[in-house]
Chains A and B, each alone.
Chain A
């Protein structure tokens, strides 16, 4: 089974802090994604990466950046956390090929910015 591990289940940070959310997958997947989940808004794509050192903006990239130095690891960075970034963050991975490769999600990191 694919395992996508997010390093923290809960995080509390202060406004203005630099925040790193880490994600590791163990299935040698090329594609990795960061989503944000908010009630009533569903899952919104922040960034995705289809190869090491490659990244593409999703639908809501403002205020975020990403890093993918190794195939198995995809990091989401909040350069200066703000209260409107309080949310559940979900990392996912998928195998390469066509768009019907299923997404495998981690269990999420609930970030609170105070």
Chain B
């Protein structure tokens, strides 16, 4: 019930391509879904987040698509760049809860120049 399943574990994309990372959750009480980006040697940092009252949120080249009925959400990186090479974590939590985020297992993205 508390898991967030993330796939794929690793992803290689050509420069200019679209990177897609998927996450699925079980707990319908979750109502906030952030994505964190982690570069080597650094801690994760918030990239983009969505609440379930919208089906899509876009910030620059990064888009979250959210499917409430399927309990799935995904991160799309358009025009992927070598500088996007990082590990990406999806997460889920309840806004009115106890600040506990449930993180996915991470996706290591490599964008080839």
Contact = CB atoms under 8 A, between A and B. Distances in A.
A50 B36 CA distance: 22
Contact of A106 (B43, B49, B104): B43
A31 interface: yes
Nearest to B101: A103
A90 B105 CA distance: 15
A100 B49 contact: yes
B32 interface: yes
B46 interface: yes
B43 A98 contact: no
Interface residues of B, number: 27
10 contacts: A42-B6, A45-B101, A50-B98, A56-B98, A100-B34, A102-B34, A102-B49, A104-B45, A106-B43, A107-B42
Contacts of B106: 40, 42-43
A42 B34 contact: no
A73 B96 CA distance: 25
Contacts of B44: 43, 90, 103, 105
B74 interface: no
Interface string A9-36: 0000000000000000000000101010
